Chains A and B, each alone.
Chain A
């Protein structure tokens, strides 16, 4: 979606410290160049296809459809990307841009670690130095991803400031960029931040919706009636929705994280129920969760990737003008949706994507049988094994962990003695 000088209605823009001006302009110009450069687009598509496995399938869910007895349910399988999530589409695009700009290092923020791992993967492949900022709390919650980032050769910096989550990681990445902009690129993971980041990330993610257009025509001869995507920063939603913007008959539903409840600090709902308010922070204007004094507030979601205080200015704008309907799903509804997909279709969804499932499942039974809905399965759920086990109160998991830990320690001790 083309911005109006970086703005989408009253949202977006570029509110950055003066020190970043030159770097921001450089990205702006580089992005303008590559958007229409056939050579760049060809390399991008080649890398998407041969490194990340695109196009990803559009999978019809027969059992789920019968279960609800309403709309025909399809999943867009972004979980089948290299790295297991749609994040790969964007990091490939930006990393190729980094090479073109002649920079040698990338900086990224990460919440759950999905974007961090995706960035570390492409950095390893393209020979770029890589530093990942991650909230100290998230480092603890998502250690397996930290482990992989390190093994891939990335430097992972735990951010112990503030709430020690994604928002603080983003602040710290901006601080690094302020002093390293001459040789480093800030590889933002979502459709947020100063211009042109929202537009650029949406541009790279739009491959999702473009493929759905082709696949839906091929599979059922027309576009879907409704699209569902979870909304954290907003990149997978932008990716699915934006190619359909001009198709007035296609409805779009964004699902935010309702967390544990609607009290401030318990959720990450920025766009429904009047919980978020317009603000300007982290380089752009959007709807933020903030107090009356304009201080950004803590958020919660069972899905770390949705646990963010702001939201894409593109989504904020489209929600404001009514083009996208926004709703939310609570933590327990999300676990139920995840469980249902496991049992009915044999697919393990990420908890982030399970929000989109939960949103769609609420509507499915009430939709006409001839209607078709596409849910963006933005990522796979292997990473969530610990959290899902805990949420499902699995009784044997602690035993496994204890045994594993004892064995691990013994292994380390034996190694030391040897």
Chain B
């Protein structure tokens, strides 16, 4: 079992579902984003998913897109980012940091170097939503060599055979997208179909070789409760960012507690 899957299995012995909270590095400033991550880790979240911003984040909805663009008004570089993550990872050994970014900034940095550096600072999972598994041979090899897990995504419209292939390839955890569309609230949402969630998760579980995280559109306690027994991690992204934008860290923590405690 991978280090990440092992961590999840152990934690799950005490908790019915683990929390993963998403933060955009550099939003609204590097210092403030680090302070927000620290606060979340002090609050005892099991994971933070830290997004290194990219200028053209095509899988994200308006809240996260806006945060990425604000963050990029500063000059952000991957080395400094990883140093910052390394410090957090040392300070909070009971939680885990998962890194998310789009391919281009990481490609420029070097995927081999990224996997190596991630392992050095105990970041055990990498999410690159625009790198499909078919184009990933080098990346997978680099991850394997460094014992870091590439996290794959599946969606309600992933064809059956492909979903089973991705589930069986999963290591660390499998990121199950809860619905069609981009992250968070968006003008595109009305057009997306509500898929039978339970059926979807049961199908994945039958084939998954790793724990399951569920994200996209989770904003209410009932959404999290509906996942109990069916998934291992609930991923809180845009809803948390919206709360943070509305009332800073306090409002964010209030939302977190209302969902998970």
Contacts and interface: CB of A to CB of B under 8 A. Distances in A.
Contacts of B88: none
Given A162-B55, A290-B104, A293-B78, A18 B182 contact: no
A273 B56 CA distance: 25
B61 interface: yes
B56 A282 contact: yes
Interface in B46-67: 54-62, 65-66
B180 A171 contact: no
B121 interface: no
Interface in B82-135: 102-109, 129-132, 134-135
Interface in B141-155: 152-155
B130 A15 contact: yes
B154 A18 contact: yes
Given A17-B129, A18-B132, A178-B181, A292 B157 contact: no
Contacts, number: 134
A320 interface: no
B76 interface: yes
Contact of B188 (A15, A176, A293): A176
B23 to A, nearest CB: 19
B209 to A, nearest CB: 17
Nearest to A295: B55
A25 B157 CA distance: 12
A295 B72 contact: yes
Contacts of B152: 18
B193 interface: yes
A19 B157 contact: yes
A266 to B, nearest CB: 18
Contacts of A295: 54-55, 72, 104-105
Nearest to B108: A294
A292 B77 CA distance: 9
B35 interface: no
Interface in A16-30: 16-19, 21-22, 25
Nearest to A296: B55
Interface residues of B, number: 51
B25 to A, nearest CB: 12
B181 A293 contact: no
Contact of A175 (B58, B77, B109, B132): B58
Interface stretch (A35-43, A179-187, A206-214, A327-335): A179-187
B131 A294 contact: no
Contacts of A157: 187
B180 A293 contact: no
A18 B193 contact: no
Contacts of A14: 132, 134-135
Given A18-B153, A18-B154, A295-B55, A175 B61 contact: yes
A161 interface: yes
Nearest to A184: B191
A167 B162 contact: no
B246 interface: no
A296 B108 CA distance: 12
Nearest to A278: B107
Nearest to A5: B134
B138 interface: no
A172 to B, nearest CB: 9
4 closest Cβ pairs, A-B complex:
A179-B181, A294-B108, A294-B105, A179-B188
Interface of A: 13-19, 21-22, 25, 157, 161-162, 167-168, 171, 174-176, 178-184, 279-283, 288, 290, 292-297
Given A184-B191, A294-B106, 15 more contacts: A15-B130, A18-B158, A19-B59, A19-B157, A21-B132, A22-B158, A157-B187, A161-B65, A171-B65, A175-B186, A179-B191, A292-B77, A293-B76, A293-B105, A296-B55
13 contacts: A14-B134, A15-B131, A18-B129, A18-B166, A157-B187, A168-B56, A171-B65, A175-B59, A175-B181, A179-B182, A288-B104, A294-B106, A297-B55
